[in-house]
Amino acid sequence: MTTEVNISERLPTGVAGLDRILEGGLLRSGVYIAEGPPGAGKTLLATQICFHAARRGERALYTTLLAETHERMLKHLSRMHFFDASLVPDGVYFISAFRALQQDGLPALLRLLRGAIVERKASLLVLDGMVTAEEVSLSGNELSNALVQDAGSSHQFKRFIHELQTVCAMTGCTTLLLSSTERPRLFHPAYTMVDGILELTNELSGLKTMRQVNVRKMRGTDQVVGKHNFEIRDEGIVVQPRMETELHAPERAELGMASASDVRMAFGVPGLDAMLAGGLPENSVSMVVGPTGAGKTLLALQFLCEGAKKGEKGLFFGFFERPAALAHKARRLGLPFQEHVEEGAIEVLWQRPIEAILDALAERLFTTVRKQKIKRLVIDSIQGFQLSLDDYPRRMRGVFAAIADELERLGVTTLYTVETREVFGPKIELPLEGVSAATQNIILLRHVELGSRMRLLISVLKVRDSEHDRTVRELIISADGLHIADALSDAQQDLSASALYPPSPSTPIADTSQPTRRSSKRK
């Protein structure tokens, strides 16, 4: 039987994230290898692809060369959401070729596969246990030498791969070979014959298990190269493509950025809005920097509440303070934060930073931003993202730049908090290298001891393409809200080289009795 096959046509895997990496899936009639150590998820990946194909009306043939019974394997798979017993055996047919391979070798295996593909009209074949087939192709001496010296491929095994490719091309059946990397690969030349190789790893990084997939080879199609994290959940394998590769893809440049605007996103704190010349520029990325207890989260809550009052949907994406703690903190400040949450004007997403995957966090963030049409976003704090990058800290600069670009493209005004190490003193050291370069506006908070009393200071270090008040002023937190006091000339000696300017016509002190006028210009 010969089937007309368009080699550019894709067989979707149905594995979340993997099809994005593979630019749509596997090419029809191709032969692919999925390799990895025991427990990496090879069997789960293959069966997940099989059931997805069956749900699309196709037929999958799962052939095992292992001594393990199908009943045991199906029992383990039954808890997965993708598993559907009604699709067995018509949609997904399980067959054991262990005995045929052991008794009559690779030629018998090939005859069995060819006959089963034709009989079942299968468009997908999975062959589980390729190490067994490789070993059968060698004599005792050859096997011993291969294990010791990593000798080249046997002629018999190479011929088996070639003839299997011929069968796939004639029938239009896509084949996935599962192979273990528990020991060194025996047959490097044979691996060059297949159309693609997916490498799955399962490694300990400190106390955390890291599962990753790497497309080592893929003929005839583009793919997102490099390693990508994946998780095993109730729904099966979920791959998280590296977000910076997706967000910085060339085709996304055509989407453009949100147009520049003179509109300011006010805090609703007159003194602070005056320092910012009306507020933060719309569609910009801002950073609130300060030590613990300096009021970073309170400023963020104020920013969201002011937006909700103006009809601008807000999102609080936090890592360290639970929603109940946020509501309590806002009530002490007199902010109707919880009321805005209940009416849907503000969304709250809380994520424990422990065991988090950065790319999954970013995916969750962008999904919510797009779905809820968020205009104001608070990330509290950016160190929550950093904790998921302990293994690859050098990713932070590229990751943050990608996040900032995408948020700006979506028309979101973003405010994120950064905690500094030093609680007192004039020295300010940002803990995240390269992050400030992608930030257009920076607000600095500090503790200072004056006399026998602790005070909070606030200053604006940078505002995108705008003049701003560079005076260091006092931030007062009280039961009736946030207030900005006059410049603290008596703090000059305590702040040493820090910028401290007396009031001048160019840096007016805000009149807190009058609300700051917001620009009426809109896109």
| pLDDT tens sequence across 340-372 | 999 999 999 988 766 667 888 888 999 999 999
pLDDT digits over 82-103, tens only? 999 999 999 999 999 988 888 8
**What percent of the chain has pLDDT above 70?**
78
Pairing of strands 376-380, 413-419: parallel
- State pLDDT tens for residues 210-259: 899 999 888 877 788 788 989 999 999 999 888 877 775 545 545 555 55
Element (H, E) at 413: strand 413-419
Confidence of residue 391 (pLDDT cuts 50, 70, 90): low
Closest CA to 279 of 296, 265, 289: 265
> What average pLDDT does the structure give for the chain?
82
Work out the burial of residue 390: count CB atoms within 10 Å of its CB; fewer than 13 is exposed, 13-18 middle, 19 or more buried: exposed
DSSP track, 213-268: EEEEEETTS----SEEEEEEETTEEEEE--HHHHHT-GGGGGG--PPP---EE--S
More confident residue, 380 or 425: 380
Distance in angstroms (rounded) separating the CA atoms of residues 168 and 159: 14
pLDDT band (50, 70, 90) for residue 392:
low
User: How does pLDDT run across 448-478, given as a tens digit for each residue?
Assistant: 877 778 888 999 998 987 888 888 899 999 9
- Separation CA 324–CA 398 (nearest Å): 33
Cis peptide before 381 (omega within 30 of 0): yes
What pLDDT, in 10s, does the model give residues 59-82? 999 999 987 777 888 888 899 999
Query: 282 falls in which pLDDT band (50, 70, 90)?
Result: very high
pLDDT reported for residue 327: 94
User: 60 in helix, strand or coil?
Assistant: strand
Name the residue with higher pLDDT: 424 or 228.
228
Model pLDDT for residues 16-65, shown as the tens digit of each residue: 899 999 989 999 999 999 999 988 999 999 999 999 999 999 999 999 99
What pLDDT was estimated at residue 60? 97
**Residue 416 and residue 441: Cα distance in Å, rounded?**
10
Query: Above 90 in pLDDT, residue 182?
Result: no
**What's the pLDDT at 506?**
38
The Cα 313–Cα 309 span in angstroms is 9
User: Which domains are assigned to the chain?
Assistant: 10-241 (3.40.50.300), 264-495 (3.40.50.300)
Q: What pLDDT sits at residue 467?
A: 84
CA distances from 366 to 239, 361, 377, 521 (A): 16, 9, 11, 27
pLDDT greater at residue 6 or residue 239: 239
pTM summary value: 0.75
pLDDT over 80 at 163, yes or no: yes
> pLDDT higher for 459 or 5?
459
Element (H, E) at 367: helix 358-372
| 205 DSSP β-pair partners | 208
- Residue 69: what pLDDT? 72
Averaged over 111-140, what is the pLDDT?
A: 86
Quick check: 378 pLDDT over 90? Answer: yes
Confidence category of residue 134, pLDDT binned at 50, 70, 90: confident
**pLDDT value at position 514?**
40
Query: Do 216 and 197 touch, CB atoms closer than 8 A?
Result: yes
Between these two residues, 146 and 74, which has the higher pLDDT value? 74
pLDDT of residue 393: 61
